[in-house]
């Protein structure tokens, strides 16, 4: 289940860490509309979040002055497998966007919300493309910066990449589908489309992956990846997929 939220920007510049701002926007939308649901996902014991989002600039983007020139339009696509969560986000967006929403040194004004038709996956093999970059980390891979430890993100072919991606998907299936049994899982990044792109996140540049990927598994697992994304930091704007027809 997914929606597209079209915003108008007060000016055409946003910082390179703009995904952090949209993640905060979603948290705010939840907190003012459904406090209980907000507390469930964001307070107390860690809970895996069943959603992801992507950000698209219809007028294009150009890197400049430690940020991006993007025009005055921005679209956030949001996807989840939880109808209550989707409804809460829609209501929250409408509530907090009655006035321009402060966004770094800019402001977001709601233009319109589009609800996309439901898509049912019933195949055991799907070709996806990324519409927000994928981050893959391995619990044994870290980097120290100024005395602090950060996740080290990997690209296909690097030591620990396959182990990390398999672990992330299996934990996602275990927590969001309550499925502890083993299941088939194969994937292939299509080399002709594969791009490794630097993204700024959590005070460092990281490797992210864009392109097309073929995944084979049970249909309900492929549905989960379509509905909630793939990889690390999905709820922070990474790993959103679209089906290639």
For the chain, which domains are there?
2-115 (3.30.70.1890), 125-243 (3.30.70.1900)
pLDDT, tens digit, 9 for 90 and up, residues 184-242: 999 999 999 999 999 988 778 889 999 999 999 999 999 999 999 999 999 999 999 99
Helix, strand, or coil (residue 59): coil
Gyration radius from the chain CA atoms: 18
Kindly report the number of other CB atoms within 10 A of residue 207's CB atom: 19
User: For the stretch 46-78, what's the b/e string if a residue is b when 16 or more beta carbons lie within 10 angstroms of its beta carbon?
Assistant: eeebbbbbbbebeeebeeeeebbbbeeebebbb
pLDDT the model gives residue 144:
63
pLDDT, tens digit, 9 for 90 and up, residues 43-62: 877 789 999 999 999 999 99
Instruction: Give Cα 185 distance to the centre of its chain.
Output: 21
Instruction: Read off the pLDDT of each residue in 23-30 and give the average, rounded to a whole number.
Output: 95
Is 141 a residue whose pLDDT tops 90?
no
Instruction: Read off the pLDDT of each residue in 162-180 and give the average, rounded to a whole number.
Output: 94
**Phi and psi angles of residue 93, each rounded to the nearest 5 degrees, phi first:** -60, -45
pLDDT the model gives residue 145:
61
**Spatial distance between the Cα atoms of 21 and 70, rounded to a whole number of angstroms:** 15
Kindly report the number of other CB atoms within 10 A of residue 45's CB atom: 5
């Amino acid at each position: 289940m997914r929606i597209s939220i079209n915003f108008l920007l007060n000016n055409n510049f946003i910082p390179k860490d703009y995904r952090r701002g949209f993640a905060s926007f979603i948290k705010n939308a939840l907190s003012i509309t459904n406090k209980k649901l907000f507390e469930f996902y964001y307070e107390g014991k860690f809970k895996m979040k069943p959603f992801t989002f992507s950000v698209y600039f219809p007028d294009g983007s150009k890197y400049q002055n430690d940020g991006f020139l993007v025009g005055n339009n921005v679209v956030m696509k949001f996807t989840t497998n939880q109808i209550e969560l989707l409804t809460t986000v829609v209501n929250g967006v409408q509530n907090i966007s009655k006035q321009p929403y402060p966004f770094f040194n800019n402001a977001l004004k709601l233009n319109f919300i589009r609800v996309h038709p439901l898509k049912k996956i019933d195949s055991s093999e799907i070709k996806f493309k990324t519409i927000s970059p994928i981050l893959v980390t391995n619990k044994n891979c870290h980097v120290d910066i100024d005395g602090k430890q950060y996740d080290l993100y990997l690209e296909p072919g690097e030591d620990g990449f396959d182990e990390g991606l398999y672990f992330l998907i299996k934990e996602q299936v275990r927590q969001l589908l309550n499925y502890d049994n083993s299941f088939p899982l194969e994937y292939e990044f299509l080399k002709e489309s594969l791009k490794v792109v630097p993204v700024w996140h959590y005070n460092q540049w990281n490797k992210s992956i864009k392109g097309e990927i073929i995944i084979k598994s049970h249909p309900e697992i492929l549905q989960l990846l379509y509905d909630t994304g793939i990889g690390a930091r999905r709820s922070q704007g990474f790993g959103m997929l679209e089906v290639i027809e």
